[in-house]
Amino acid sequence: DAGVIQSPRHEVTEMGQEVTLRCKPISGHDYLFWYRQTMMRGLELLIYFNNNVPIDDSGMPEDRFSAKMPNASFSTLKIQPSEPRDSAVYFCASSPGLTQGDTQYFGPGTRLTVL
- Distance in Å, CB of 25 to another protein, minimum: 13
Calpha distance 13→96 (Å, rounded) = 34
40 lies in the site for another protein, by CB under 8 A: no
Among 102, 112, 113, 114, binds another protein (CB under 8 A): 102
Smallest CA-to-CA distance from 3 within 112, 77, 93, 76 is with 93
Smallest CA-to-CA distance from 33 within 57, 2, 64 is with 57
Among 50, 66, 76, 87, binds another protein (CB under 8 A): 50
82 lies in the site for another protein, by CB under 8 A: no
Calpha distance 7→66 (Å, rounded) = 17
46 lies in the site for another protein, by CB under 8 A: no
Among 43, 80, 83, 85, binds another protein (CB under 8 A): 43
Three-state DSSP state, 99: helix
C-alpha 63: how far from chain center: 15
97 lies in the site for another protein, by CB under 8 A: yes
56 lies in the site for another protein, by CB under 8 A: yes
CA quadruple 47, 6, 37, 39: dihedral, nearest 10: -170
Interface residue list for another protein (CB under 8 A): 30-31, 33, 42-43, 45, 48, 50, 55-56, 89, 91, 93, 95, 97-98, 101-106, 108-109, 111
